[in-house]
Amino acid sequence: MTSVTDAPGTPLPFSRSRSGRTIVGRAIGWLRINLFASISSTIVTLLLLFVLAKAAAGLVQWAFWNAVWSVPGSDTSACRAVHGLGACWAVIPEKLRFILFGTYPFDQQWRPALAMLAFMALFYVSSRRKWWRKELVLVWAAALTLIGLLMWGGIFGMPFVSQDRWGGLPVTLILATFGLALGFPLGIVVALGRRSKLPAIRSLSVLYVELIRGVPLISLLFMASVMFPLFMPDGVNVDKLLRAQVAFVLFAGAYLAEVIRGGLQAVPRGQHDAADALGLSYWKKNGLIILPQAIRHVIPPLVNTFIAFFKDTSLVLIIGIFDLLTTAKTAIIDPAWQSFSVEVYLFVALIYFAFCFAMSRYSARLETQDGPKAR
Amino acid sequence: MTTSNPAPPPPRRIRISLKDRQFAGLFWQIVVVGITVAIVAWLWSNTVHNLSVRRISTGFAFLGREAGMPIADTWFPYSPKDPYLRAFVVGLANTLRVAVIGIVLATILGTIIGVARLSSNWLLSRLAAVYVEVLRDIPLLLQLLFWYVLMQGLPAARAAWKPIEGVFLSNRGLILPSVPIEAGQLWVIGAAVIGLIAFHVVRKQLTARQLLDGRPRRIWPYALALVIGLPMLTSLALGVSWTITKPELRGFNFVGGLTLAPEYFALLIALVTYTSAFIAEIVRSGIQSVHRGQWDAAMALGLRRGFVLQHIVMPQALRVIIPPMTSQYLNLTKNSSLAVAVGYQDIVSIANTTLNQTGQAIEAIAIIMLVFLTISLGISLFMNWYNARIALVER
């Protein structure tokens, strides 16, 4: 990782922080330093203000002033009338349930909704430092089981719903969460394997990581959807979603392994020697001494990998699995709403953004609070 | 490990016990390799069986058969009657066409945004920060679909936007004026490349002489003669004509000029903007990694800010910037395979169509892997060479 000497966002040593006395004076001082420091800076500011004002005016007109917020029934003539001039937000409430839950039986959609809440609770609990204990693994196992029960059903009077009817945000969350939960142990094993002194194990780990990282994710997904059936013996039929999930676990394992390997390299040699001197076995040494330190070192890059991975789940669109992006794209196939895809894409982009932005803020906070320098 | 042991340990025999380190190492290696080989063998035998049931013959013989697959957007002559091999070559060219141009544009845009992010102008740096945050946190595929939808929403060819004379933007894509490339033009381009190389050599020698006696040498006459004069002379000697063909609207479509199809254009914009956000962050942290004292010292000498950035800070920042930049270039190349979502026919899309037409799954995937591993290796080698060139020379 690059070492950043200044905190992110610190201005270069040109903006003097000299402040006036009164609030107005201080504001003017701030403006002069930050917006009108020199002739070129003033020109840039004025130019940007001009462009921003024009863009904002256009955006407000399109998104609010001329926008249609609701239409009676499925009659989109009001939307068509303003097409190109104003947004048709009416498409969002009309298609919301489909975008969020796909073709899940309509009267049972409280189940994926609850599963989503369970995911949120799980993410929240896992992000708190005080709950980073061994018991967290049990919490994860329990939560993932609960989510599976809710989605499949078949007990407690909930009718069974097979996974080809799952869709929308729960599928995105399932692909990402299960991929990471299973890819993480795999990544640890491969990272250890890559630093092993045993040549056969080391080369197998290198081969795995480089092969997976060398090819685009799409080709892995094609493999999962087209080649996986060829690999299996006669009569074994693995569901499409599960095949994609396997591809994601393998993919996550390779990328996480590289991040964890970086952490392993940052653990000083003396820690290995001390653990060896205590006579600890290989697994005890790594499990109790090395890995806890290594993972602590790489928490911010790990979260960045999680973000990338969360975004990458959208690629299942190409092999026809109904995740959030696919349901959005399918929702606007409806001829009545066909020409309002921009609105739907913006809405879905907002959902993805909310998740990724939350994670990236969290990572930035960890970096300042909990980085190697803070301790 | 007893590192403080003064005498070398006596040579020992391997004990057959898992407590013995050497034996355990050997044992576990055999176990892991054994399991891996068993899994691969099992998968392989299943595959061979399944293929024989489906009457698919393995091997690359299918590459010679007629592809029968139309490829709309290509800079190569191609017809559906051509064999699969040619279709793959066209696909590879399409991948490289979007990746290479994308890398160049993303680097330029990313550097501008990264520098803007550090500007002392508050508004500029905030805007750059928003740009980076928004583009980084939305999946590339979603951005690609978004751009593609916008592209399709553009006016039809007859009502095309004309931002500049000769440039058209419509739902047929971006149409630019072009110069038809023939043998003469290739000679001139060749002369320009030779001129550039010669100029590079001359400049190196002049700098070496200047270092010896401290007298500054004039470089610009050489630049004029070699980089501009040589190609011009070649052009005049061969009588090459440089007529620019402007696109014209005939009926429902454009004739002449260079067409960037909407699929290609959307993919290029999506890749460039998305990757530029990551490059901007790399550039920013690279510049910030240069010690503050370097700025202070340069400013104390009375140098201008742009000069300091260009000649003092950037060369030092590059050392931090290059390694993560390499992985961004690789990412962009791999991400270009999202082309299949908008119907731009890159190598992955062609391989996928081939796979559906012939059932040659293993061969198609093998070709994709081979192509991307080769491209990755190529980019890595180039960037490692460049990195070694700019690395700190300790005196």
Rounded average pLDDT over A106-118: 81
Looking at per-residue pLDDT, the higher value among A18 and B87 belongs to B87
Residue B280 pLDDT level (bands cut at 50, 70, 90): very high
The answer to whether the beta carbons of residues B88 and B363 sit under 8 Å apart is no
Tell me the H-state helices in B290-345: 292-300, 305-308, 314-335
Q: How confident is the model at residue A143 (pLDDT cuts 50, 70, 90)?
A: confident
pLDDT for residue A2 = 39
Query: Please, which pLDDT band fits residue A5 given cuts at 50, 70 and 90?
Result: very low
Give the CATH number, domain containing residue B135.
1.10.3720.10
B278 within a domain of the structure (yes/no): yes
| Strand partners of residue B161 | B169
Of A4, A49, A345, the CB nearest to B288: A4
Q: To the nearest whole percent, how much of chain B has pLDDT over 70?
A: 93
B137:A356 CB<8 A: yes
For the cut 50, the answer to whether the pLDDT of residue A9 exceeds it is no
Query: What pLDDT score does A195 carry?
Result: 84
Report the share of chain B in percent with pLDDT over 90: 16
Helix (H) or strand (E) holding B133: helix B122-136
pLDDT per position as a tens digit, B94-141: 899 899 999 999 999 999 999 898 888 888 889 999 999 999 999 999
Query: What's the angle, vertex CA A225, arms to CA A221 and CA A229, rounded to 5?
Result: 135
Hey, CA dihedral for A32, A33, A39, A41, is it positive or negative?
negative
Q: Which residues of B touch A233 (CB under 8 A)?
A: 46, 49
The pLDDT assigned to B394 comes to 52
Rounded mean pLDDT of B318-339?
87
- Which of the residue ranges A28-32, A75-79, A211-215, B158-162 would you say has the lowest mean pLDDT? A75-79
Are B303 and B357 a contacting pair, CB within 8 Å?
A: no
Q: Is residue B181 part of a domain?
A: no
Rounded Cα gap, residues A118 and A331, in angstroms: 26
CA distance B112 to chain A (A): 14
Q: How far B8 CA lies from chain A's nearest CA (Å)?
A: 18
Q: What is the pLDDT of residue B11?
A: 60
- Report pLDDT for A6: 41
Statement: residue A267 has pLDDT above 80: yes
**What is d(CA B301, CA A15) in angstroms, rounded to the nearest whole number?**
19
CB spacing of A44 vs B296 below 8 angstroms: no
Return the number of other C-beta atoms located less than 10 Å from residue B76's C-beta. 11
Distances (CA, A) of B267 to A319, A359, B270, B330: 19, 27, 5, 16
- pLDDT above 90: percentage of residues in chain A: 10
Between A106 and B122, residue with greater pLDDT? B122
Q: What is the mean pLDDT of residues A94-122?
A: 81
For residue A174, is pLDDT > 70?
yes
Exposure letters A342-355 (e unless 16+ CB within 10 A, then b): bbbbbbbbebbbeb
| Cβ under 8 Å to A: B residues 301-320 | 305, 320
- From A193, A221, A182, select the one nearest A314 (Cα to Cα): A221
pLDDT of the residue at B183: 74
Bridge pairing between strands B168-170 and B248-250: unpaired
Contact list in B for residue A342 (CB cut-off 8 A) is: 146, 149-150, 153
Domain contains B52: no
Q: How much is the average pLDDT of B10-27?
A: 69
B-proximal residues of A, 85-114, CB under 8 Å: none
**Amino acid at site B77:** P
pLDDT in the model for residue B19: 65
User: Mean pLDDT over residues A119-138, rounded?
Assistant: 81
Cα–Cα–Cα angle for B197, B201, B207, rounded to 5 degrees? 140
The better pLDDT of the pair A288, B180 is held by: A288
Q: Is residue B225 one of the residues assigned to a domain?
A: no
Please, which residues 176-235 of chain A have a Cβ atom closer than 8 Å to chain B? 197-201, 204, 211, 214-219, 222-223, 226-227, 229-234
Interchain CB contact of B252 with A (< 8 Å) = no
pLDDT confidence of residue B14: 60
Position A210 scores a pLDDT of 84
- The average pLDDT across B301-327 equals 84
Least confident among A6-15, A190-199, A282-291, B94-103? A6-15
Higher pLDDT, B182 or B347: B347
Question: Which of A3, A217, A352 lies at the smallest CB-CB distance from B289?
Answer: A3
pLDDT the model gives residue B17? 67
Residue owning tokens 């050599």 = B201
Shortest distance, CA B16 to any CA of chain A (angstroms): 18
- pLDDT tens for B59-95 read 777 777 777 777 777 777 777 777 888 888 888 988 9
Looking at the structure of chain B, the number of domains it has is 1
A12/B contact by beta carbon, under 8 A: yes
Is there a contact between B291 and A360 if contact means CB atoms under 8 Å apart?
A: no
Chain A contact for B324, CB < 8 A?
yes
A5 touches B at CB < 8 Å? yes
For B306, residues 6+ apart whose C-beta sits below 8 A from its C-beta are: none
* Chain A: closest CA distance from residue B67 (Å): 20
- Is residue B352 in some structural domain? yes
**Most confident segment among A288-292, B275-279, B360-364:** B275-279
What pLDDT shows up at residue B16?
66
B120:A12 CB<8 A: yes
The secondary structure element, H or E, covering residue B250 is strand B248-250
Q: Is residue B272 part of a domain?
A: yes
Residue-level pLDDT at A373: 46
| A residues 301-320 lying closer than 8 A (beta carbon) to B | 307, 311-312, 314-315, 317-318
Q: Which residue has the tokens 């040109």?
A: A14
Greatest mean pLDDT among A85-89, A283-287, A305-309, B352-356 lies in A305-309
Contact flag A352-B49 (C-beta cutoff 8 Å):
no
- Whether A1 shows a pLDDT value over 50: the answer reads no
B391 CB-contact burial (10 Å; exposed 0-12 / middle 13-18 / buried 19+): exposed
Mean pLDDT of A136-146: 84
Q: Which of A5, A307, A341 is the closest to B288 by Cβ?
A: A5
The whole-angstrom distance between A356's CA and the closest CA on chain B is 5
Phi, psi dihedrals of residue A250, rounded to the nearest 5°: -65, -40
* Confidence band of B209 (pLDDT split at 50, 70, 90): confident
Q: Give me the pLDDT at residue A30, please.
A: 81
Mean pLDDT of the residues in chain A: 81
Judging contacts by C-beta atoms under 8 Å, the chain B residues touching residue A303 are none
Q: pLDDT digits over B162-172, tens only?
A: 777 778 888 77
pLDDT value at A220 more than 60? yes
Among A122-136, A305-319, B125-139, B307-321, name the one with the lowest average pLDDT. Answer: A122-136
- The answer to whether B164 contacts chain A (CB < 8 Å) is no
User: Which candidate from A2, A232, A346 shows the least CB-CB separation from B286?
Assistant: A2
Query: What is the pTM (predicted TM-score) of this model?
Result: 0.83
What is the distance in angstroms between the Cα of B213 and the nearest Cα belonging to chain A?
36
What pLDDT was estimated at residue A237? 75
Lowest mean pLDDT among A166-170, B59-63, B276-280, B357-361: B59-63
User: Residue B292: is its pLDDT beyond 50?
Assistant: yes
- Separation in Å, CA of B347 to nearest CA in chain A: 11
Query: Which pLDDT band holds residue A292 (cuts at 50, 70, 90)?
Result: confident
CA–CA separation, B165 and A115 (whole Å): 56
ipTM: 0.84
pLDDT score at A272: 84
Residue A48 is nearest to which of B124, B361, B376, comparing CB atoms?
A: B124
Please answer yes or no on whether B120 and A41 come within 8 Å at the CB atom. yes
Which of B44-48, B132-136, B269-273 bottoms out in mean pLDDT, i.e. has the lowest? B44-48
In a domain, B70, yes or no: no
Give the pLDDT of residue A16.
46
Q: Are B291 and B123 in contact (CB under 8 A)?
A: no
Closest Cβ opposite residue B361 in set A48, A84, A226: A226
Closest partner residue to A204 among B32, B136, B368, by Cβ? B32
Q: Is B248 on the interface with A (CB under 8 A)?
A: no
- Domains, chain A, with CATH or none: 161-370 (1.10.3720.10)
pLDDT averaged over chain B?
82
Six-digit token string for B17: 């016990």
Q: Which residues of B touch A232 (CB under 8 A)?
A: 46, 50
> How far apart (Å, rounded) are the C-alpha atoms in residues B265 and A353?
24
A84 neighbourhood in chain B, CB within 8 Å: 153
d(CA A16, CA A4): 21
Helix (H, G, I), strand (E, B) or coil at A68: strand
**Weakest mean pLDDT among A4-8, A290-294, A329-333, B79-83:** A4-8
Counted across chains A and B, CB pairs separated by less than 8 A come out at: 187
User: Is pLDDT of A58 > 80?
Assistant: yes
Which pLDDT score is estimated for A3? 40
Report the chain B residue with the minimal C-alpha distance to residue A202: B29
Domain of B90 in residue numbering reads as 84-159+264-358+367-390
Distance CA B106, CA B104 (A): 6
